[in-house]
Every structure is written in structure tokens, then in C-alpha cells.
Amino acid sequence: MSDTRQQVNTVLGIGRQTYERSVWGLVVIGCLGLLAGILLREQLIGTATYLVTVWAAMIVAVAVPYVSDTKLVDERDERLHNRASGLLIGIAFMVGLGIVPALYVLNAGNYITISPTVWGGIYLFSAFGLLYGVCYTIVSRRS
């Protein structure tokens, strides 16, 4: 065990539970800060709190597994993440492909009028699908 790792573990006492609680705790604090900022009309402070804590959470989430001797993330976590992501993509595509083209055609035929908000959702969905395609291509070429 390297001295640095020993030191980090000793100082922070990093365990899986501590790691997860730290990450999610920071995210919750950030969200509460943002909400408080909105309610108290202190949007700038709320946004700053949110950005600082959420970025801190992301840094902790990514960096700590590298410096901790305790295994914090392993193959099962990765598989669970992949399954959850796959499920999300599957649902999104089924719903999107089942609805969006129909809406588009009905709008073009003047049967319905798609509101700007729905158009925003359609563009977001399209961008999401495109991004997924790019990510899939990158991952498949690297494996």
C-alpha cells in the first residue's frame, strides 16, 4: 500500500458506505441549496451552492475510487449501471419512436398543433438519440 493511499484512507476512513453517502449527500445539499435559492429569491447564491457541491460530488465520485485501497466500485456496479442504462435507453426509444413520428406527421397534416414545449422535447429526444449513437460507436470501436 502506498503512503499516499494509506494516508487518504486513514484521514478519510473511506468505506463504500461513506463514499456513497458523501457523493449523494453533496448532491442533496446542492439540490436543497438551489431550491432554497429559488424560494428565498437568492438565485445566484443558490446556483453557486448547487454548482460547487455537485461538482464536488462528481470529483469525489470519480477521484476517490482511484486513491482508496478499499474497493468502492467493481464489476457488479458496472453491470448494474449498464443494465439500468440499457433499460432507460430501451424505454426512451420505445416511447420516442412510438410517439414522435406520429406527432410530426399529424402536425404536418394540420390535425394537431405541436406546442413549442413539445417541439423542445422532440429536439431533446432527437439529440439524446444522436448522442447515444455517437457514444455507442465510440464504445464499440474501442472494445
81 binds another protein (CB under 8 A): no
Could you tell me the smallest distance in angstroms from the CB atom of residue 134 to another protein?
27
Question: Nearest CA to 52 among 68, 30, 35?
Answer: 30
Vertex 52: Cα angle to 47 and 58 (nearest 5): 120
Cα(72)–Cα(54) distance, rounded to whole angstroms?
19
Residue 59 identity: I
Please tell me whether residue 77 binds another protein under the rule CB under 8 A. Answer: yes
| Per-residue interface string for the shown chain with another protein, residues 54-73, x marking contact by CB under 8 A | -----------------xxx
| Gap between the Cα atoms of 94 and 46, Å rounded | 37
CB neighbours (10 Å) of residue 26? 20
Q: Considering the complex, what minimum distance in angstroms separates the CB of residue 103 from another protein?
A: 41
- Site membership for another protein, residue 20 (CB under 8 A): no
Number of residues that bind another protein (CB under 8 A): 9
Site string for another protein, 96-115 (x = CB under 8 A): --------------------
Chain residues in the site for another protein (CB under 8 A)? 16, 71-77, 79
